[in-house]
Amino acid sequence: MSTRCTTDASVLFNVNMRGAVDLVDCEEAKCSNTNICGDNLTDCSATCVSSIFVDTAMHAHPTNATFCSELAQPIAERGCSWKSTPSGAPVLRWSVQVLFSLIVLCIMAEL
């Protein structure tokens, strides 16, 4: 579920119904549906959140591990983010630093 369902913070969804790919899925996950929460929305207060809340939690830096671990089907911290990270950037930066250090050491050894 993401903000594609709605950006209206007053509309709440069952956070444990994952995988919304279209508006039909969004409608089914709404906490206002009696098949999810019954007639009393307070019964679902722990599982009903806005799509904005989910979007914010999944784009948090550092990762919001608490949010992901409290789901009915917990998400491991490694997968608890919708942010893309340049996976090769830290390794490349480290490799360039090591290479530069080796070049400097070779030059100094020849002096």
51 located within any domain: yes
64 located within any domain: yes
17 located within any domain: yes
* 68 CB burial (10 A radius; 0-12, 13-18, 19+): buried
- The residue type at 93: R
* Domain with 45 in it: 12-84
Reported as a pLDDT band with limits 50, 70 and 90, residue 36 is low
57 located within any domain: yes
Residue 37: per-residue pLDDT: 66
Count structural domains, the chain.
Answer: 1
Residue 33: per-residue pLDDT: 67
Reported as a pLDDT band with limits 50, 70 and 90, residue 103 is confident
Q: Could you please report the per-residue DSSP string of 5-16? A: S---TT-EEETT
pLDDT digits (tens, 9 = 90+) for 40-87: 656 677 788 888 888 888 888 888 899 889 888 888 888 888 877 655
4 located within any domain: no
The CA distance from 53 to 34, in Å, is 22
pLDDT digits (tens, 9 = 90+) for 78-100: 888 887 765 555 555 556 666 66
Instruction: Report how far apart, in Å, the C-alpha atoms of 2 and of each of 52, 65, 78, 95 are.
Output: 7, 18, 19, 37
108 located within any domain: no
The CA distance from 67 to 75, in Å, is 9
91 located within any domain: no
74 located within any domain: yes
Output DSSP code: residue 111.
-
The CA distance from 12 to 23, in Å, is 14
